[in-house]
Amino acid sequence: MDTLTVTTAAVTDNQRWVDGFAERPDLQQGPSQLVSFRQNAIDKLAQTSFPTRRDEDWRYSDFTRALNENWSLQKTDAPQVVRTTFEIPDFTGFVLVTIDGEFQPELSDTIPGLVVGNTEELLDDATHGAWIAERLTSFAADDNAFTNLNAAFAKTSLFLTIGKNEKLGKPVHIIHFATRNADKRFVNSQVFVRLPQGAELTVDETFETLGEGAPIFRNHVIRGSVDAQGRLEYRSIQNEGREDYHVSNANFDQAGGGYIDHTRVDLGGAQVRNNLDINHKGAGLETHMAGLFFARGRQRIDNQTFLDHAFPHGESNEIYKGIVMDSAVTSFNGKVMVRPDAQKTNAYQQNDNLVIGTKAEANAKPQLEIFADDVKCSHGATIGQMDEAPLFYLMARGIDRGTALGMLQRGFLLEVLDRINSEAVRAYVEHLLMAKFNEA
Amino acid sequence: MLSIKNLHAQVEETPILQGINLDIKPGEVHAIMGPNGSGKSTLASVLAGREEYEVTEGSVNFLGEDLLDLDVEERAQNGLFLAFQYPIEIPGVTNATFLRSSINAIRTANGQDELNGAQALKLIREKMAAVEMDASFLKRSLNEGFSGGEKKRNEMLQMMLLEPKLAILDETDSGLDIDALQVVAKAVNSMRNTDRSFLVVTHYQRLLDHIVPDFVHVLYNGRIVRSGDKSLALELEKRGYDWIKEEVAAQTA
Ligand SMILES: Nc1ncnc2c1ncn2[C@@H]1O[C@H](COP(=O)(O)OP(=O)(O)OP(=O)(O)O)[C@@H](O)[C@H]1O
Ligand SMILES: [Mg+2]
């Protein structure tokens, strides 16, 4: 009897997702190319285990328990969306909306100068079809069950691009909604961003939920490319509910002379894992990666970044700062590869953690692998406690402990906040942060 | 104003204050002198509410309330101010934000309306001029990279903004150039009135030429071993502490 139970469990691991796929006839519809991408992805998933803590790269992110919950993969009707409620105050840009992974043109702004569409329609596009297909194909090759799963369930995903040497002049805010209902829902969402040569674009992403109900497991993927002299500013602000799960997988190809500036903010979620990969495809480029995270209660927030310097004269600058308190756990693993050809690389990485209380845990793992000899690389990681002396100083000036703590915590994160180039987005992040500081 | 009775305090089982008695009435200026390590800063910290120091005996009454019963911020809100011997550097918190938060924390606790950004800034600039601080210090992180003298000026700025009822100055004069010393003296003297008291910890008579005290006390081994008027400071300046140490030794022998 025992043996039988164990065997069944091992199979159901991924069989559940395969069954869920079979119960979604809509996934068999659409362009045949897309249908076969989905099929390839689900076939791959059937053979790929979800990572566990035994996988070095996932040591602090075992989702086994979360995944074993009874997640529904069914579609559901979204309630009416009052978009303004979810917009960033004073944001002077354009807004695009997805719901449960599907692009919603009627809820989105029309943006002159920007090509916005969904992957289903654009697969046949003369200019962009091949680019999209290349990325969709890659999902089935990934040894990552999360991206396999994401690709299998992808429908009309958002694709945006802009003309060569063009810039919009205003940022684009993508609001990704997930719909709650009585079931625990597993929601896959995808975004594709393509910047041709000399193009400039700023994208802000936020994640929201619609309606009331059970927790959401969001499995998000973003794929992008920045060609020569292209400039992408991309911020992702995650403030999901405290019962929700969030896995994100961002992957960018960056051509020589290209520029990427990414900021990631994580405040919400029961358990969060972000993968960020940036692949250098040419010489003389510049990459900035910043992260800010604050975990409390029983939250787990895990960031893993991978920067691949493969060509000469590359510059990278990475700073992740986080606060962890109560019984929360955070981790940062920053891999930077400097390949033999990547001479004259400048790679800087810093990860600072502030641990408050005795039960909270921060893990820092800088990981520089340098195979070129004429490079400037530095990295540092700190894990520190909140000092009593500054707290006392502020309180001795009449400021209550809670406010004083908030001021010091904000001060600790300031370096990353300062890197947010948009006033409105920065104010929004600060607002979310303050609200979280003030939680009991 | 402040009444300290038989105050004993220790840090990690080591007794430091060993029976302090001190009464400060409204409008008075008291100076405390004494050799290094005698407990002057400890006394100041205990009054401000630093948790590291455990009060084992005695009582402190401040404006009719049991001071030792109050939280750190409540003491400040009730009008107690400590100018730190070593002001703390706080990266990431601008001086301007800090000053405004502090002013408003004290105002709200005392039932006054908060000052808005512009009002606070106007007040802060006015007082900065009085302590001869450049406006550029507003944007900088609190005390971060400030020189010793600049930190002390910033303490004086806070004192002027918060208008305490009792200001404790812990060696605000040490490390100051002659001009800065004048600035501190001017700040204190401009605030002297019949309702406000000062407790000035110093090693040097020269500050007391400018801030003329009503009483001078000598703290030694955690006790006030001698009190007098301003002439005591002059005598200490001439004779040092040996004669006092000898007197104490003779008494305890
Ligand atoms: N946190 C602490 N831990 C251990 N010892 C302490 C602590 N704080 C004070 N002390 C000790 O208590 C004694 C009194 O220190 P305190 O700083 O009050 O002296 P002080 O009179 O202010 O000296 P100074 O004139 O040098 O400023 C010293 O021996 C000091 O080492
Ligand atoms: Mg001292």
Report d(CA A202, CA A206) in Å as an integer.
14
Supply the residue whose CA is at minimum distance from atom 16 of ligand 1. B39
**Residue A215: alpha-carbon gap to chain centroid:** 19
pLDDT at A440: 66
Question: Does a structural domain hold residue A92?
Answer: yes
Report d(CA B179, CA B176) in Å as an integer.
8
Query: Given A351, A367, A387, which residue is the final one in a domain?
Result: A387
| Cβ(B191) – ligand 1 distance below 6 Å | no
**What is the band of A78 on the pLDDT scale with cuts at 50, 70, 90?**
confident
Ligand 1 atom with the smallest distance to the CA of B171 is 27
Question: Does a structural domain hold residue A365?
Answer: yes
- Taking an 8 Å cut-off on Cβ atoms, the answer to whether A415 and B87 are in contact is no
Question: Does a structural domain hold residue A36?
Answer: no
pLDDT at B91: 93
Q: Are both A94 and A167 inside the same structural domain?
A: yes
What is the 3-class SS of B32-63, one letter each residue? EECCCCCCHHHHHHHHHCCCCCEEEEEEEEEC
Q: Which residues of A touch B158 (CB under 8 A)?
A: 397
Q: Are both A93 and A142 inside the same structural domain?
A: yes
- Taking an 8 Å cut-off on Cβ atoms, the answer to whether A400 and B105 are in contact is yes
Q: Are A23 and A74 in contact (CB under 8 A)?
A: yes
Q: Which two tokens stand for residue B91?
A: 């990266």
**What is the band of A438 on the pLDDT scale with cuts at 50, 70, 90?**
confident
Question: Does a structural domain hold residue A8?
Answer: no
**DSSP secondary-structure letter at A229?**
T
Query: Given A350, A371, A387, which residue is the final one in a domain?
Result: A387
Chain A residue closest to B109 (CA)?
Answer: A398
Q: Are both A322 and A411 inside the same structural domain?
A: no
Q: Are both A360 and A418 inside the same structural domain?
A: no
Question: Does a structural domain hold residue A140?
Answer: yes
Chain B residue closest to A418 (CA)?
Answer: B92
Q: Are both A195 and A153 inside the same structural domain?
A: yes
pLDDT at A114: 94
Q: Are both A130 and A221 inside the same structural domain?
A: yes
pLDDT at A3: 41
Q: Are both A317 and A260 inside the same structural domain?
A: yes
Q: What is the mean pLDDT of residues A92-96?
A: 97
Supply the residue whose CA is at minimum distance from atom 28 of ligand 1. B37
pLDDT at A151 over 60: yes
Q: Which of A222, A226, A301, A234 is nearest to A263 (CA)?
A: A234
What is the 3-class SS of chain B, one letter each residue? CEEEEEEEEEECCEEEEEEEEEEECCCCEEEEECCCCCCHHHHHHHHHCCCCCEEEEEEEEECCEEHHHCCHHHHHHCCEEEECCCCCCEEEEEHHHHHHHHHHHHHHHCCCCCCCHHHHHHHHHHHHHHCCCCHHHHCCEECCCCCHHHHHHHHHHHHHHHCCCEEEEECCCCCCCHHHHHHHHHHHHHHCECCEEEEEECCCHHHHHHCCCCEEEEEECCEEEEEECHHHHHHHHHHCCHHHHHHHHHHHC
| Cβ(B175) – ligand 1 distance below 6 Å | no
**A408 Cα: distance to centroid of ligand 2 (angstroms):** 26
Q: Are both A245 and A375 inside the same structural domain?
A: yes
Summarize pLDDT for B61-86 with one digit per residue, the tens.
Answer: 999 999 999 999 999 999 999 999 99
Question: Does a structural domain hold residue A355?
Answer: yes
Summarize pLDDT for B113-162 with one digit per residue, the tens.
Answer: 999 999 999 999 999 999 999 999 999 999 999 998 899 999 999 999 99
Summarize pLDDT for A401-417 with one digit per residue, the tens.
Answer: 999 999 999 999 999 99
Q: Are both A360 and A430 inside the same structural domain?
A: no
| Cβ(B38) – ligand 1 distance below 6 Å | yes
pLDDT at A265 over 90: yes
pLDDT at A12 over 50: no
pLDDT at B112 over 90: yes
- Taking an 8 Å cut-off on Cβ atoms, the answer to whether A393 and B91 are in contact is no
Summarize pLDDT for A331-346 with one digit per residue, the tens.
Answer: 999 999 999 999 999 9
Q: Are both A225 and A270 inside the same structural domain?
A: yes
Report the relative pairing of strands B2-11 and B54-62 from DSSP bridges.
antiparallel
Q: What is the mean pLDDT of residues A266-274?
A: 98
pLDDT at A10: 42
Mean predicted lDDT score pLDDT of chain A = 94
- Taking an 8 Å cut-off on Cβ atoms, the answer to whether B92 and A410 are in contact is yes
| Cβ(B223) – ligand 1 distance below 6 Å | no
Report d(CA A117, CA A129) in Å as an integer.
11
Q: Which two tokens stand for residue A398?
A: 């009449």
Question: Does a structural domain hold residue A21?
Answer: no
Q: Give the up-direction half-sphere exposure of residue B181: CA atoms within 13 A in the CB hemisphere.
A: 16
Q: Which residues pair with A209 in a beta bridge?
A: A178
Which domain does A279 fall in, by range?
A: 79-387
Percentage with pLDDT > 70 across chain A: 97
Percentage with pLDDT > 90 across chain A: 92
Query: Given A372, A387, A402, which residue is the final one in a domain?
Result: A387
**What is the band of A5 on the pLDDT scale with cuts at 50, 70, 90?**
very low
pLDDT at B213 over 80: yes
- Taking an 8 Å cut-off on Cβ atoms, the answer to whether A411 and B71 are in contact is no
Q: Are both A283 and A407 inside the same structural domain?
A: no
Mutate to test the interface with A, among B46, B73, B112 (most CBs of A within 10 A): B73
Q: Which of A336, A344, A334, A348 is nearest to A372 (CA)?
A: A344
Summarize pLDDT for A370-428 with one digit per residue, the tens.
Answer: 999 999 999 999 999 998 999 999 999 999 999 999 999 999 999 999 999 999 999 99
Q: Which of B48, B91, B101 sits opposite A396 (nearest CB)?
A: B48
Pocket test for ligand 1, best of B8, B38, B223 (most atoms within 8 A of CB): B38
Q: Are both A196 and A275 inside the same structural domain?
A: yes
Domains held by chain A: number: 2
Question: Does a structural domain hold residue A216?
Answer: yes
pLDDT at A352 over 60: yes
